[in-house]
Amino acid sequence: MRNSGWGYSLFTVVNLIFLTALALIMFLPFVNVIAQSFSSTNAITTGRVVFWPVEATTIHYRYVFSDASIWRSFGITVYITLLGTLLNLAATAMLAYPVSRQEYKGRNLVVLLVLVTMIFSAPLIPNFILIKSLGLMNSLWALMLPGAISAFNFFVMLSFFRELPAELIDAGRIDGCGEWRIAASIVLPLSKPVMASLGIFYAVSHWNTFMSALYYINKPNLYPLQVKLRQMIVSDDIAVDPSATQFSELAHSSPEGIKMAVIMVATLPIILVYPLLQRHFVKGMMIGSIKS
């Protein structure tokens, strides 16, 4: 039945205004960060920057691009994001797929154990002792291995695998495929939508790695980008190459502009990646396969 009447129209208008205002409230601070990153030192210190650059300049970005420590932290973040996401997807799929098959007799116990970890998470101190006992302190593996499988993502992938037609699996076995071949040639190609969706969740988590790095990483040369940014914001720890005289005064007179530029460098990559994978959220999960 078609919705009509002034009540429905009023609700639509109010809902549109509310959602637009909410979107602006969340987006305008980000616009302010962009404006400050491109504004001059004088404009930032005098508070003249709102939503548009004042006395536009790129010197803050030139500083960021010339700072080796920022690039090192950026490289570490990219490394743990790419490798960590691959490990996450591989580990989650290797657990979820067997549990999704009816022939696996211990699947209910595994699901129960995973559910327990979702409800009752381990406290910080036992986690710290475990990481230290495994010799993972001051290692990037400490930022990737402990959370290799997210319980929530496991249940999402488990539900997806359970919806796969059993006829596809049976056809592979009739053709002589082993379980590894079935998983690689049949299951994974059909799992692109869920892999893309969970890949985004895992990648954003790794890109924003902060607390784990604070707990397990004590060497500044292993800090990921978020910890480096926090170090700059909290302690105004902005290193300057003595030979780069053009940045010496900038680091002391306009640390805010540099911080805004680093925030942009830390934020934009993950924002730019999302549109590339967004289409997988709306794709049918069984494109090209048979229906049961």
Sign of CA dihedral 133, 134, 138, 140: negative
- The confidence score (pLDDT) of residue 83 equals 93
Q: Are residues 118 and 36 in the same domain?
A: no
- Is 1 part of a structural domain of the chain? no
User: Does position 86 have pLDDT exceeding 90, yes or no?
Assistant: yes
Chain-wide mean pLDDT for the chain? Answer: 78
Model confidence band, residue 79 (pLDDT cutoffs 50, 70, 90)? very high
Is 190:289 a contact under the CB 8 Å cutoff? Answer: yes
Q: Does residue 259 lie in a domain region?
A: yes
- Does residue 60 sit within a domain? no
Any idea which of 16-20, 80-84, 208-212 has the lowest mean pLDDT? 208-212
Residue 146 burial (10 A CB sphere; 0-12, 13-18, 19+): middle
Q: Residue for token digits 């924002």?
A: 271
| Same domain (yes/no): 18, 135 | no
Most confident segment among 15-29, 95-109, 238-252 = 15-29
Q: Where on the phi/psi map is residue 217: left (φ > 0), alpha (ψ -120 to 50), or beta?
A: beta
pLDDT given for residue 245 in this prediction: 46
The residues, ordered by sequence, that sit 6+ positions from 142 with a Cβ below 8 Å of its Cβ are 131, 136, 212, 216, 217
Q: Provide the CATH number for the domain around residue 186.
A: 1.10.3720.10
- Residues 139 and 34 grouped into a single domain: no
Q: Range with the lowest mean pLDDT among 77-86, 87-96, 187-196?
A: 187-196
Provide the percentage of residues in the chain whose pLDDT is more than 90.
4
Task: Answer whether 212's CB lies under 8 Å from 141's CB.
Answer: no
| pLDDT at residue 284 in the model | 40
- 71 and 41 in one domain? no
Q: Round to whole Å and give the CA distance between 259 and 272.
A: 20
Q: Is residue 54 part of a domain?
A: no
Band of pLDDT at residue 277, cut at 50, 70 and 90: low
Model confidence pLDDT, tens digit, residues 124-172: 888 888 888 888 888 889 888 888 888 888 888 888 888 877 777 778 7
pLDDT above 70 covers what percent of the chain? 84
CB 283 within 8 A of CB 193: yes
Is 61 a domain residue?
Answer: no
Question: What would the two tokens of residue 205 be?
Answer: 């988590």
pLDDT of 235: 61
- Give the mean pLDDT of 6-22: 83
Same domain, 31 and 152: no
The pLDDT of residue 191 is above 50: yes
Give the C-alpha separation, 238 to 207, whole Å.
22
- CA gap 87, 276 in Å, rounded: 21
Of residues 167 and 278, more confidence is placed in 167
Q: Are residues 132 and 34 in the same domain?
A: no
- Whole domain around residue 165: which residue ranges? 67-282
pLDDT at residue 286 tops 70: no
Query: Is this prediction's pTM over 0.85?
Result: no
Residue 165: inside a domain:
yes
pLDDT for 283 equals 53
Mean pLDDT of 5-26: 82
Alpha-carbon span 130 to 124, nearest angstrom: 10
- Together in a domain, 91 and 215: yes
Q: Is the pLDDT of residue 76 over 80?
A: yes
Report residue 153 as tokens.
């993502």
Helices and strands: H and E segment counts in the chain: 15, 0
Task: Report the domain count for the chain.
Answer: 2
Regarding whether 18 and 122 lie in a shared domain, the answer is: no
* Count of Cβ atoms closer than 10 Å to residue 108 Cβ: 10
Q: What is the pLDDT of residues 223-271, one digit of tens each?
A: 888 888 777 766 655 555 444 445 445 555 557 777 788 888 888 887 7
Same domain for 124 and 41, yes or no, is no
Residues 108 and 219 in one domain: yes
- Give the pLDDT confidence score for residue 87 in this predicted structure: 93
- Which pLDDT score, from 0 to 100, does residue 135 have? 86
pLDDT at 292: 43
**In angstroms, rounded to a whole number, what is the distance separating the alpha carbons of residues 285 and 247?**
52
Specify whether 29 is located in the same domain as 82: no
Q: Is residue 238 part of a domain?
A: yes
- With contact defined as beta carbons under 8 Å apart, do 138 and 74 qualify? no
